[in-house]
């Protein structure tokens, strides 16, 4: 790089190295002496930092790096420094650099011209960049006063004054100069700005103390007296330059903002125009400020709907679309809305160019200026002829549907009722005018069920659904309906509504429930001998162990503990068996929940092992990842029990009973071979035996009611027909594989559902009482004693009664002390139900825990059940008793 020689007072770089390495140990006087020695004098520029050696050292370091050691030509640096100093509020820098320029050979007149020159504009800088682009070698710095130097100086001044608004010009200058030379230039500009900040923070520094001024100022101003005036009026000139520059920059910024805004508005208007032109809705714009409110714009969709071309539309009033059947009242409403400058929505009959009528769903909105003045009306129209015709067809068909006994209604995809037949009025109790536009799910399905969720998913996916649903009438009566849903689509193929046909099967289901209960009792009868055998097996160690403990009171402690554990384990097994039999016998049909088949099959296996002959070996194969199903646990329990009983009867000499389950996805190929199957996920349950098998001639009839291959008196023929009915009610199907003397396999398929299995909670630690008084009522003395010991061992006080009469007497006497009543439902003299009613009349706030070995909480009459806080089925453990008591006492 070609550079000019430094002026005579510039220090040599190598002579300042020690100066750069000054450390914190140096005092201000020592640093001053070092600068004095290296520069020949101590510039007043450094004077304000004398009291802080670190600041003085930093200032000197910046002068060294940014100015003295910067390889840019000294004349170029001084020109740039002098010009930029015009914008510093203190004249020190400008006067000192002007004197430096004079020392480097510039004439006073040239210096004044430089200082008075206007800042370069964006247009001028673009021209200078174009000039630099044409230069072949910018790595050699230009000669003084050349055109190339002038262009570089103007570009440097522009990017220095523009701050962050000249990113493009900085990028271009870096590209033209190269990274190294550009970095020297940026470093020098940063140094000049730092000097200005320092001087404005220390305005007391006198430029007269600087040696450059002392040596050259007199000659400088004498050669060009105007320079003296320039310096004298410096402050006014600085303010004027700053204001002029700020106004210039503000004007440029405003122009750019306006240009950007106009470009954005043009782009947005183009985008809106394209959207309006592409929309399927007809759009009209009218001008209410012209006579007769004529149309000034119509989009292509309006022409497609009406058949009129744009030249036939523009300039006309919209009334040309009206015809003989157009409703005058609707037209009058439109006119009133336009006169009142308000928005309106309506539907009216219009006519196309060819004379064909169409239903026009119309929305008209006023467009106002910021001052509130009416500018336009914008109209949006949608052709709803098809929808109107569909609604008319529905209304025409309604008269035919009203004679049907089934409940028929139409609902849209948001569950709103669109049509409600007379049959629906008769079944549910609501009149059509009461339910139209209401949410049908909230109306007749107050409780969400898995079947309802599955129905909504299936109708969207497959277009149809049928099944059984629990619903409610206007009076709150619970009913069961057989429901058939069909998805209704428009001409475009998109779903529009759902047609629902519901048949009341409440009485039918009640009869079926009675039949199923009777069939369950038949199954229990076939298990009776096995149950008796197993109960005797459990009672034998209880009786024997108890007798040993009574006969040998001083028996060894270890043996005593073993006998007590035998009694406890045998009692638990017997209680579990009785609970399972009672649960199966009671059965509560119609309640569908999300079930894990693995648990049902495991329960059946336990009953089978405890009741079937020991000659039958039971195998179980259940994967841990079985899917969940939605179903009635009692009914599915009955299905498996019936199949297992049939398998037992098929193996009189013994054999193997295999219970298994698996996940299965059924595809379209499978459904073609089995008409009862549907595409989707199923859980398959298999019950297989190694028995005598089913003859081919009987295989096709096994599901017929009252058909049986058993001897007279050993079967009613209702077992398999019950199985088939229950499985079909769960939307499933059954397959049978059998061969004479080679066994039989029944495969039951139940649709799977997506749900999360609820895991059993970990057993909680029992919480003892706080001395509460519990009234224990039971006619069995042993139960009273055990309950009393259990409760007292957990810090409760206990008062006992042998029947309802004694319980009432105790409660009247200790009403203010008794915190809870534990009462058996089956007692002589006065049973539990009567006692509970009486206790509630004495104290409506009494807390009651009911106990029974035969009844369930669902079998207790509602008036009594509503007064019971908890139900505890016999037999129960001490843990269950204490936990239930604690939970009820915590209730408020």
3-state secondary structure 293-355: CCEEEECHHHHHHHCCCHHHHCCCCHHHHCCCCCCHHHHHHHHHHHHCCCCEEEEEEEECCCC
The arithmetic mean of pLDDT across residues 866-870, rounded, is: 83
Residue 284: its H or E element: strand 282-286
- According to the model, what pLDDT value does residue 716 have? 42
* Residue from 390, 308, 377, 319 nearest 348 by CA: 319
* Residue from 180, 112, 175, 124 nearest 153 by CA: 124
- According to the model, what pLDDT value does residue 799 have? 94
- According to the model, what pLDDT value does residue 1 have? 34
Phi, psi of 408 (to 5 degrees): -125, 130
C-alpha to C-alpha distance for 451 and 472, rounded to whole angstroms: 15
Phi, psi of 138 (to 5 degrees): -100, 0
The full DSSP string for 611-629 is HS-TTEEEEEE--TTPPEE
CA dihedral 847, 853, 859, 860 (to 10 degrees): -30
CA dihedral 217, 222, 223, 224 (to 10 degrees): 90
pLDDT in tens, 360-384: 888 888 888 878 888 888 888 888 8
pLDDT in tens, 691-715: 988 888 777 777 775 556 555 444 4
Cβ distance 642 to 723 under 8 Å? yes
Residue where the block lists tokens 């183009």: 270
Instruction: Return the ∠ at Cα 220 (arms to 219 and 224), rounded to 5°.
Output: 110
- According to the model, what pLDDT value does residue 515 have? 61
**297-312 b/e with 16+ CB inside 10 Å = b?**
bbbebbbebbebeeee
Residue 424: its H or E element: helix 422-428
For residue 405, count other CB atoms closer than 10 A to its CB: 11
- Helices and strands (H, E) in the chain, number of each type: 33, 22
- According to the model, what pLDDT value does residue 856 have? 62
- According to the model, what pLDDT value does residue 20 have? 45
Higher-confidence residue of 688 and 712: namely 688
Q: At 287, list the tokens.
A: 């001008």
pTM of the model: 0.34
- What CA–CA distances, in Å, run from 32 to 26, 314, 484, 782? 10, 88, 103, 110
* Residue from 681, 682, 584, 680 nearest 633 by CA: 584
Residue 752: its H or E element: strand 743-753
Higher-confidence residue of 566 and 239: namely 566
Radius of gyration for the chain, computed over Cα atoms and rounded to the nearest angstrom: 51
Assess whether pLDDT exceeds 50 at residue 21: no
Instruction: Return the ∠ at Cα 539 (arms to 538 and 545), rounded to 5°.
Output: 105
- According to the model, what pLDDT value does residue 783 have? 82
- According to the model, what pLDDT value does residue 740 have? 87
Residue 775: its H or E element: strand 773-777
Helix, strand, or coil (residue 76): helix
The full DSSP string for 571-583 is HHHHHHHHHHHHH
- According to the model, what pLDDT value does residue 541 have? 58
Cβ distance 807 to 777 under 8 Å? yes
pLDDT in tens, 32-85: 777 777 666 778 878 887 777 777 777 777 787 788 888 888 899 999 999 898
The arithmetic mean of pLDDT across residues 425-438, rounded, is: 90
Residues with Cβ within 8 Å of 323's Cβ and at least 6 positions away in sequence, in order, are: 349, 350, 351, 357
C-alpha to C-alpha distance for 467 and 451, rounded to whole angstroms: 8
Helix, strand, or coil (residue 547): helix
Assess whether pLDDT exceeds 60 at residue 874: yes
The arithmetic mean of pLDDT across residues 789-803, rounded, is: 90
Among 67-76, 549-558, 571-580, 679-688, the range of highest mean pLDDT: 679-688
- According to the model, what pLDDT value does residue 267 have? 59
Residue 275: its H or E element: helix 234-278
Percentage of the residues of the chain whose pLDDT score is greater than 90: 14
Q: pLDDT band at 2, cuts 50/70/90? A: very low
Q: At 313, list the tokens.
A: 């539309």
Strand partners, 359: 349
C-alpha to C-alpha distance for 450 and 448, rounded to whole angstroms: 7
Assess whether pLDDT exceeds 90 at residue 660: yes
Assess whether pLDDT exceeds 70 at residue 559: no
In what order do the strands lie in the sheet containing 464-472? 417-420, 407-412, 495-504, 478-489, 464-472
The arithmetic mean of pLDDT across residues 743-769, rounded, is: 76
Among 152-156, 360-364, 413-417, 659-663, the range of highest mean pLDDT: 659-663
Residues with Cβ within 8 Å of 811's Cβ and at least 6 positions away in sequence, in order, are: 775, 818, 821, 839, 842, 843, 846
Cβ distance 387 to 489 under 8 Å? no
Please, is 340 exposed, middle or buried when counting C-beta atoms within 10 Å of its C-beta (0-12, 13-18, 19+)? Answer: exposed
C-alpha to C-alpha distance for 301 and 228, rounded to whole angstroms: 77
pLDDT in tens, 496-519: 899 999 988 888 777 766 666 655
C-alpha to C-alpha distance for 447 and 444, rounded to whole angstroms: 9
Helix, strand, or coil (residue 462): helix
Instruction: Return the ∠ at Cα 735 (arms to 729 and 740), rounded to 5°.
Output: 140
Assess whether pLDDT exceeds 60 at residue 760: no
C-alpha to C-alpha distance for 181 and 158, rounded to whole angstroms: 17
Please state whether 694 falls in left (phi above 0), alpha (psi between -120 and 50) or beta. Answer: beta
Tell me whether strands 655-666 and 680-689 are parallel, antiparallel or unpaired. Answer: antiparallel
- According to the model, what pLDDT value does residue 662 have? 94
C-alpha to C-alpha distance for 522 and 500, rounded to whole angstroms: 39
- The DSSP symbol for 599 reads H
The full DSSP string for 104-157 is TT--HHHHHHHHHSPPPPHHHHHHHHHHHHT-S--SSPPPTTSHHHHHHHHHHH
Higher-confidence residue of 7 and 117: namely 117
- The DSSP symbol for 735 reads E
C-alpha to C-alpha distance for 842 and 775, rounded to whole angstroms: 15
Least confident of 306-320, 551-565, 576-590: 576-590
- According to the model, what pLDDT value does residue 163 have? 63
Helix, strand, or coil (residue 723): helix
Instruction: Return the ∠ at Cα 782 (arms to 781 and 783), rounded to 5°.
Output: 90
Cβ distance 331 to 348 under 8 Å? yes
Length of the chain: 892
Percentage of the residues of the chain whose pLDDT score is greater than 70: 77
Please state whether 84 falls in left (phi above 0), alpha (psi between -120 and 50) or beta. Answer: alpha
- According to the model, what pLDDT value does residue 776 have? 94
The arithmetic mean of pLDDT across residues 328-356, rounded, is: 88
Beta strands (DSSP E) in 336-477 are 344-351, 357-368, 374-383, 407-412, 417-420, 464-472
The arithmetic mean of pLDDT across residues 608-636, rounded, is: 86
Residue 55: its H or E element: helix 53-63
Write down the mean pLDDT value for the chain. Answer: 79
pLDDT in tens, 221-262: 888 888 877 877 765 655 565 565 556 556 556 656 765 665
Helix, strand, or coil (residue 682): strand
Q: pLDDT band at 585, cuts 50/70/90? A: low
CA 79 to centroid of chain Cα atoms:
66
Helix, strand, or coil (residue 513): helix
Higher-confidence residue of 18 and 59: namely 59
Residue where the block lists tokens 């400088």: 220
- The DSSP symbol for 375 reads E
Tell me whether strands 628-631 and 593-596 are parallel, antiparallel or unpaired. Answer: antiparallel
The arithmetic mean of pLDDT across residues 796-818, rounded, is: 92
Residue 356: HSE in the Cβ half-sphere, 13 Å Cα cutoff: 8
Least confident of 25-34, 193-202, 256-265: 256-265
- The DSSP symbol for 414 reads T
CA 8 to centroid of chain Cα atoms:
77
- What CA–CA distances, in Å, run from 791 to 369, 488, 575, 800, 825? 83, 64, 21, 12, 20
């Amino acid at each position: 790089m070609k550079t000019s020689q430094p002026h005579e007072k510039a220090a040599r770089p190598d002579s300042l190295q020690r100066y750069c390495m000054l450390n914190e140990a140096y005092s201000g006087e020592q640093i001053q002496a070092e600068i004095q020695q290296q520069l020949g004098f101590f510039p007043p520029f450094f004077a304000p930092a004398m009291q802080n050696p670190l600041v003085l050292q930093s200032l000197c370091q910046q002068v060294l790096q940014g100015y003295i050691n910067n390889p840019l030509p000294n004349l170029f640096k001084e020109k740039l420094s002098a010009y930029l100093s015009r914008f510093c509020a203190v004249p020190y820098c400008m006067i000192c650099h002007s004197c430096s320029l004079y020392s480097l050979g510039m004439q006073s007149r040239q210096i004044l011209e430089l200082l008075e020159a206007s800042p370069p504009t964006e247009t001028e800088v673009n021209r200078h960049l174009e000039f630099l682009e044409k230069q072949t070698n910018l790595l050699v710095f230009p000669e003084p006063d050349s055109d190339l130097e002038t262009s570089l100086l103007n570009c440097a001044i522009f990017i220095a004054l523009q701050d962050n608004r000249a990113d493009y010009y900085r990028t271009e200058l870096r590209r033209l100069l190269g990274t190294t030379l550009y970095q020297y230039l940026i470093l020098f500009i940063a140094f000049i700005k730092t000097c200005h900040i320092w001087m404005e923070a220390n305005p007391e520094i006198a430029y007269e103390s600087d040696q450059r001024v002392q040596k050259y100022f007199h000659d400088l101003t004498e050669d060009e007296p105007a320079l003296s005036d320039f310096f004298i009026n410096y402050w006014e000139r600085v303010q004027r330059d700053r204001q002029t520059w700020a106004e210039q920059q503000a004007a440029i910024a405003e122009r750019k903002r306006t240009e950007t805004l106009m470009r954005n508005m043009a782009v947005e208007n183009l985008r809106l125009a394209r959207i309006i032109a592409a929309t399927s809705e007809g759009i009209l714009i009218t001008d209410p400020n012209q006579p007769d409110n004529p149309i000034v714009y119509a989009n292509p969709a309006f022409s497609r709907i009406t058949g009129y071309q744009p030249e036939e539309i523009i300039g006309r009033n919209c009334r040309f679309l009206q015809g003989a059947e157009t409703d005058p009242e609707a037209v009058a409403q439109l006119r009133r809305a336009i006169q009142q400058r308000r928005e309106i929505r309506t539907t009216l009959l219009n006519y196309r160019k060819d004379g064909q009528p169409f239903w026009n769903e119309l929305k008209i909105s006023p467009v106002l200026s910021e001052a509130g003045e009416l500018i336009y009306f914008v109209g949006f129209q949608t052709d709803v002829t098809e929808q109107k015709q569909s609604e008319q067809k529905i209304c025409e068909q309604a008269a035919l549907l009203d004679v049907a006994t089934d409940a028929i209604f139409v609902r849209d995809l948001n569950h709103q009722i669109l049509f409600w037949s007379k049959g629906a009025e008769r079944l549910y109790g609501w009149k059509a005018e009461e339910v139209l536009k209401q949410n049908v799910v909230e109306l007749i399905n107050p409780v969400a069920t898995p079947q309802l969720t599955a129905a909504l998913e299936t109708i969207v996916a497959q277009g149809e659904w049928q099944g059984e649903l629990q619903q409610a009438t206007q009076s709150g009566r619970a009913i069961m309906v057989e429901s058939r849903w069909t998805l209704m689509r428009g001409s475009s193929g998109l779903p529009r509504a759902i047609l629902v046909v519901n048949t009341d099967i409440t009485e039918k289901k009640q009869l079926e429930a009675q039949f199923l209960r009777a069939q369950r009792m038949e199954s229990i009868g076939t298990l009776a001998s096995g149950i008796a055998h197993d109960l005797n097996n459990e009672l034998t160690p209880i009786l024997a162990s108890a007798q040993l403990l009574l006969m040998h009171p001083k028996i060894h402690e270890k043996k005593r503990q073993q006998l007590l554990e035998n009694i406890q384990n045998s009692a638990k097994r017997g209680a579990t068996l009785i609970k399972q039999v009672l649960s199966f016998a009671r059965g509560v049909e119609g309640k569908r929940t999300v079930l894990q088949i693995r648990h049902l099959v495991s329960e059946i296996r336990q009953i089978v092992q405890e009741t079937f002959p020991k000659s039958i070996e039971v195998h179980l194969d259940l994967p841990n990842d079985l899917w969940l199903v939605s179903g009635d646990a009692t009914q599915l329990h009955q299905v498996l029990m019936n199949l297992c009983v049939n398998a037992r009867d098929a193996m009189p000499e013994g054999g193997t009973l295999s219970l298994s389950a698996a996940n299965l996805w059924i595809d379209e190929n499978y459904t073609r071979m089995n008409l009862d199957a549907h595409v989707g996920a199923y859980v398959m349950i298999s019950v297989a035996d190694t028995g005598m098998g089913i003859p081919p001639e009987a295989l096709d009839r096994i599901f017929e009611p009252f058909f049986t291959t058993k001897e007279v008196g050993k079967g009613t023929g209702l077992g398999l027909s019950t199985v088939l009915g229950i499985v079909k009610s769960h939307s499933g199907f059954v397959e049978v594989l059998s061969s004479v003397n080679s066994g039989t396999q029944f495969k039951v398929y139940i649709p799977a559902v997506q749900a999360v299995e609820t895991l059993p909670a970990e057993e909680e630690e029992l919480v003892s009482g706080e001395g509460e008084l519990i009234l224990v009522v039971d006619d069995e003395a042993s139960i009273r004693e055990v309950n009393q010991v259990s409760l007292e061992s957990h810090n409760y006080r206990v008062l006992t009664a042998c029947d309802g009469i004694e319980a009432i007497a105790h409660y009247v006497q200790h009403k203010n002390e008794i915190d809870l009543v534990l009462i058996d439902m089956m007692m002589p003299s006065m049973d539990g139900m009567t006692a509970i009613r009486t206790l509630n009349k004495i104290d409506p706030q009494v807390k009651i825990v009911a106990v029974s070995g035969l009844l369930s909480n669902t079998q207790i009459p509602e008036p009594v059940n509503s007064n019971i806080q908890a139900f505890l089925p016999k037999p129960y453990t001490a843990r269950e008793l204490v936990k239930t008591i604690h939970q009820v006492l915590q209730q408020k």
